[in-house]
């Protein structure tokens, strides 16, 4: 029998151990780094990184359920580990029917391939049902970030054209006229803005830009990957937030912005009109000839000059008043569209003013007829519907992903997201559903998706293994699929209990960097030597950068919540799973309602988990107002005269710095609070109560004392401090690309 390692230290790992009849098991392996160094059946548990260093010396048995082993197989293949036995194969392995050799490797590869084939077939069936039963003319508009970008592009186009001379007449073409024909606006998954112009308007538009802005003749080598995006990026860097036009061989492009991912852009395509005796077949042959030729011309300037010469060749065929119109030789649409006849003039002119997603633009006179020249099957779903590819961004920019498993994390990552994108780093949220998310069914998918859409931030429902840096607030096992990324843990508020998650091994071990909220956390973690002390970095509290308490804001929130009371307001912030106070202090808080108006903001898990139903019921009973678990924390805290928090909750520290005028009382049910909590808790809070019978007396004796909490949470840090940290990480890890 080979020396074995079992992957998975859970129920299936235990069952695998039993199936193997307690043979020579050298180690367990688990992605949960919090188990590293612990034992199961007196067998040491390794993390994945340690296992990789010894993988060739042992045979691997998978001790996971079928649902989880598919993801693990991907992880193993990504790390070039291809010899293993699945849980379902253990009996055959023991009987000698299979062995760890090239045959088994091939079997597993084929098994994985078969799995994806079946998955593809299922998706194809679902897709066909969708396409056969959904009217593409009645699709819901985009939401969230995509909608924000669509409207931003339209605003930009309107800005471009608002001051044009009257003789320049742009009209919507390509996917935009398709969107108008079907949906009176954008197709839900598109964000390009494309216009057509007749030759005279096209030339005058270039002249207008040369007189008022900057115009560049593109200088691109098409043999190089991402040649056009790289060229535009250089211009964006040289002329940030300035309008400029680029003349490409087959279209014009107007840009404004700082980066490729956040720029505003508008594409212009040229149309020509021809004499009645010029045969369409002859013109189409010319298009095909040019297309074949330019494939062997690698430089954009040479392509532009070649097409100019070809336009001169047919110069005698043009007629500015002609009835036959088509995409010009220097228009990409001529190459991409395949037709057998001219577009008749009355199909396009006179142009028709329309409302396009709230903006006034022009479309061809008969857009229903015109669209047939661009899209043959315009009433059907295209094969690539919903697919947008901007792979060049991951290759051209430093990329950061924020991997979400719970909705509360979004608010902590938002300041980093906005700062990094402003500074030229492509930051994006990643929210995978239950079938793919590293946390499985725990992921708060529905709420998180709603918040991301409401905040209009960019997110993907699929992780990208090319990400340079990835963040989580959880343990590093959440990021296992990011095999090559720099991994950073972001603390989301310190607590004073000595077993708080944010100072446990699981919160820090395995990460490249740990961002903490103040020197308090940093000192504790530095003493524990989980990672290099220099990589434990105080970034303050990004979620609350620039926050200032004001009584004016308090009055606004009270009005918003329709709270009108003469009583002092007690804001109660109970946690849900670690020394919660609701049940123990229920009777005393009910009595406090006689003196205080009680507003409770439960932990968001109390709202969403069925196991918390009874507790939530009690919360409603003891409260005058109950706020949603995802209600803005700053607004909830600012209305308080007294803050009542569970001592083990991060809310205990966060609430104090957001409302320094309120008195802070921390609750616990433990008898060993002197040993269990760090001594700083007594300096930070106005009172710490661990006996429900003492609460009313403590509340009566509260006085107002000024507190200094900078050591606990450093509110002096700001965006510039955070950017300095991120720049250093990018530099030290050689991540700069452009």
Using the CB atoms, write b or e for 9-34: b if 16+ within 10 Å: bbebbbbbbebbeeeebbbbbbbbbb
pLDDT-wise least confident of 209-218, 585-594, 668-677, 703-712: 703-712
How far is residue 712's CA from residue 610's CA, in Å, rounded to a whole number?
34
Instruction: Compute how many other C-beta atoms are within 10 angstroms of the C-beta atom of residue 248.
Output: 20
Q: Where in the chain is the domain with CATH 3.40.50.2000?
A: 397-544
3-state secondary structure of 272: strand
Contact present, 1 and 22 (Cβ < 8 Å)? no
Lowest mean pLDDT among 62-71, 282-291, 389-398, 559-568: 62-71
Q: Residue 626 pLDDT more than 60?
A: yes
pLDDT of 113 reads: 60
d(CA 111, CA 488): 34
Q: Supply 266's token pair.
A: 């508008």
**Residue 387: per-residue pLDDT:** 67
Q: Which two tokens stand for residue 183?
A: 């949906």
C-beta separation of 365 from 352 below 8 A: yes
Q: Is the confidence at residue 359, as pLDDT, over 90?
A: yes
> CB-based contacts of 389: which residues, under 8 Å, 6+ apart?
none
* H helix runs in 221-299, sequence order: 227-238, 280-294
Whether the predicted pLDDT of 701 surpasses 90: no
Residues in the chain, how many? Answer: 738
pLDDT tens per residue, range 134-184: 888 888 888 999 999 999 999 999 999 998 999 999 999 999 999 999 888
426 pLDDT more than 80: yes
What is the distance between the alpha carbons of residues 98 and 112, in angstroms, rounded to a whole number? 17
Rounded average pLDDT over 9-36: 84
Q: Quick check: 334 and 328 in contact, CB under 8 A?
A: yes
Which segment of 62-66, 105-109, 247-251 scores lowest on mean pLDDT? 105-109
The crossing angle, in degrees rounded to 10, of helices 582-592 and 613-622 is 10
- The pLDDT value recorded for residue 380 is 80
Phi, psi of 723 (to 5 degrees): -65, -40
**According to the model, what pLDDT value does residue 122 have?**
83
Q: How far is CA 672 from CA 160, 175, 239, 497, 675, in A?
A: 69, 67, 63, 11, 6
Instruction: Single out the residue of 395, 400, 438 nearest to residue 421, CA to CA.
Output: 400
What is the end-to-end Cα distance of the chain in Å, rounded?
Answer: 53
Pairing label, strands 687-689, 663-667:
parallel
Nearest to 469 by CA among 408, 513, 532, 528: 513
Predicted local distance difference test score (pLDDT) of residue 332: 92
Residue 462's Cβ-count burial label (10 Å; 0-12, 13-18, 19+) is exposed
* 494-497-502 Cα angle (round to 5): 45
User: What is the Cα gyration radius of the chain?
Assistant: 32
Q: What is the 3-state secondary structure (H, E, C) of 351-413?
A: CEEEEECCEEEEECCCHHHHHHHHCCCCCCCCCCCCCCCCHHHHHHCCEEEEECCCCHHHHHH
If you search the block for the tokens 């193997």, which residue do you land on? Answer: 20
Please enumerate in sequence order all residues whose Cβ is within 8 A of that of 197, keeping only pairs 6 or more positions apart, or say none: 168, 169, 170, 171, 205, 268, 269, 270, 271
Residue 388, pLDDT > 80, answer no
Tokens of 523: 């000192």
The pLDDT score that the predictor gives to residue 116 is 66
Token pair recorded at residue 332: 């990409």
Tell me the average pLDDT across 527-538: 95
DSSP state of 727: H
pTM: 0.82
Q: Between vectors from CA 497 to CA 36 and to CA 663, what angle results, nearest 5°?
A: 150
DSSP assignment of 544-577 equals: GTT----HHHHHHHHHHTT---SSEEEEEE--SS
Tell me: pLDDT of 738 over 60: no
Q: Give the tens place of pLDDT for each residue, 510-528.
A: 999 999 999 999 999 999 9
Q: Residues with Cβ < 8 Å from 151, sequence gap 6 or more?
A: 357, 358
CB count, 10 Å around CB of 88?
A: 10
User: d(Cα 682, Cα 665) in Å, to the nearest integer?
Assistant: 10
Are 101 and 51 spatial neighbours (Cβ–Cβ below 8 Å)?
Answer: no
What tens digit of pLDDT does each residue of 479-500 get? 988 988 999 999 998 989 999 8
Alpha-carbon gap, residue 512 to 507, rounded angstroms: 12
C-alpha torsion 546→548→553→554, nearest 10: 130
**Alpha carbon distance 231, 209 (integer Å):** 19
Give CATH for domain 397-544: 3.40.50.2000
Give the model's pLDDT for residue 100.
56
Indicate the class that CATH gives domain 4-116: alpha beta
CA atoms of 651 and 653, how far apart (whole Å): 5
Who's near 588: CB < 8 A, 6+ residues apart? 692, 693, 695, 696
Q: What is the mean pLDDT of residues 8-31?
A: 85
For 225, phi and psi rounded to 5 degrees?
-65, 140
What the block records as the tokens of 579 is: 């020394």
Strand ranges in 11-134 using DSSP code E only, listed in sequence order: 25-29, 39-40, 43-46, 59-62
Contact, 98 vs 89, CB < 8 A?
yes
348 or 69: which leads in pLDDT = 348
Question: Do the Cβ atoms of 154 and 357 come closer than 8 Å?
Answer: yes
Cβ–Cβ < 8 Å for 137, 183: yes
What does the pLDDT average to over 450-470? 94
Domain with CATH 3.40.50.12580 in the chain: 551-700
Name the band, by pLDDT with cuts 50, 70 and 90, for residue 130.
confident
> What are the start and end residues of each CATH 3.40.50.720 domain in the chain?
4-116
What is the dihedral sign for C-alpha 376, 380, 383, 389? positive
Chain Cα centroid distance, residue 493: 22
CATH topology of domain 551-700: Rossmann fold (3.40.50)
Cα–Cα distance, 417 to 43 (Å, whole number):
42
Q: CA nearest 431: which of 414, 415, 447?
A: 447
């Amino acid at each position: 029998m080979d020396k074995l390692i079992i992957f998975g230290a859970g129920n299936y790992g235990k069952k695998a151990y039993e199936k193997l009849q307690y043979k020579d098991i050298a180690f367990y392996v688990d992605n949960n780094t919090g188990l590293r160094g612990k034992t199961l059946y007196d067998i040491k548990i390794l993390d994945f990184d340690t296992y990789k260093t010894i993988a060739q010396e042992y045979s691997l048995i998978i001790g996971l359920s079928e649902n989880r082993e598919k993801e693990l197989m991907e992880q193993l293949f990504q790390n070039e580990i291809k010899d293993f036995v699945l849980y379902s194969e253990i009996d055959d392995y023991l009987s000698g029917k299979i062995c760890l050799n090239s045959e088994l490797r091939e079997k597993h590869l084929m098994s994985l391939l078969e799995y994806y084939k079946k998955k593809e077939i299922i998706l194809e069936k679902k897709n066909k049902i969708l396409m056969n039963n959904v009217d593409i003319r009645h699709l819901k508009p985009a939401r969230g970030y995509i909608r924000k970008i669509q409207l931003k592009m339209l605003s930009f186009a309107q800005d471009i054209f608002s001051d044009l001379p009257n003789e320049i007449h742009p009209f919507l073409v390509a996917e935009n006229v398709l969107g108008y024909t079907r949906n009176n606006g954008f197709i839900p998954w598109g964000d390009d803005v494309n216009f057509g112009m007749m030759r005279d308007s096209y030339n005058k538009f270039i002249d207008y830009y040369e007189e008022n802005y900057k115009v560049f003749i593109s200088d691109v080598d098409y043999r190089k990957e991402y040649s056009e995006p790289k060229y535009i990026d250089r211009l964006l860097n040289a002329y940030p937030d300035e309008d400029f036009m680029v003349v490409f061989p087959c279209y014009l492009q107007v840009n404004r912005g700082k980066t490729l991912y956040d720029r505003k852009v508008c594409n212009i395509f040229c149309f020509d009109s021809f004499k009645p005796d010029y045969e369409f077949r002859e013109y189409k042959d010319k298009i095909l000839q040019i297309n074949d030729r330019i494939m062997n011309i690698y430089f954009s300037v040479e392509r532009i000059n070649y097409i100019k010469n070809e336009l001169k060749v047919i110069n005698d065929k043009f007629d500015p008043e002609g009835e036959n119109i088509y995409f010009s030789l220097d228009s990409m649409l001529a190459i991409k569209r395949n037709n057998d006849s001219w577009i008749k003039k009355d199909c396009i002119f006179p142009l028709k003013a329309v409302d396009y997603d709230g903006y006034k633009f022009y479309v061809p006179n008969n857009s229903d007829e015109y669209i047939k020249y661009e899209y043959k099957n315009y009433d059907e779903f295209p094969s690539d519907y919903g697919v947008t590819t901007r792979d060049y961004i991951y290759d051209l920019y430093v990329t950061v992903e924020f991997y979400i498993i719970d909705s509360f994390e979004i608010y902590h990552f938002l300041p980093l997201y906005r700062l990094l994108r402003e500074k030229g780093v492509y930051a994006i949220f990643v929210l995978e559903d239950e079938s793919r998310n590293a946390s499985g069914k725990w992921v708060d998918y529905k709420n998180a998706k709603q918040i991301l859409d409401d905040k209009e931030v960019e997110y993907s429902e699929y992780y990208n293994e090319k990400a340079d840096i990835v963040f989580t607030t959880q343990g590093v096992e959440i990021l296992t699929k990011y095999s090559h990324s720099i991994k950073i843990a972001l603390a989301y508020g310190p607590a004073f209990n000595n077993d708080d998650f944010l100072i446990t091994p699981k919160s820090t071990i395995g990460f490249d960097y740990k961002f903490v909220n103040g020197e308090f956390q940093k000192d504790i973690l530095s003493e524990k030597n989980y990672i290099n002390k220099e990589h434990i970095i105080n970034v303050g509290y990004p979620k609350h950068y620039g926050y200032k308490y004001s009584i004016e804001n308090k009055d606004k929130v009270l009005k918003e919540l329709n709270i009108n009371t003469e009583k002092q307001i007690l804001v109660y912030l109970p946690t849900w799973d670690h020394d919660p106070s609701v049940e123990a202090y229920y009777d005393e808080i009910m009595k406090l309602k006689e003196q205080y108006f009680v507003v409770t903001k439960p932990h968001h898990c109390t709202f969403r988990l069925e196991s918390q139903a009874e507790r939530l019921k009690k919360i409603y009973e003891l409260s005058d107002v109950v706020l949603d678990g995802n209600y803005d924390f700053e607004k909830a805290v600012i209305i308080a005269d007294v803050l009542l928090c569970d001592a083990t909750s991060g809310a205990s520290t966060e609430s104090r710095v957001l409302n320094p005028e309120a008195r802070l009382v921390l609750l616990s049910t433990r008898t060993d609070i002197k040993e269990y909590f760090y001594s700083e808790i007594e300096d930070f809070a106005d009172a710490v109560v661990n006996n429900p019978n003492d609460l009313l007396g403590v509340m009566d004796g509260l006085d107002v004392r000024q507190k200094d909490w900078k050591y606990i949470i450093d509110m002096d840090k700001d965006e510039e401090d955070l950017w300095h940290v991120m720049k250093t990480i990018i530099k030290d890890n050689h991540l700069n690309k452009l």
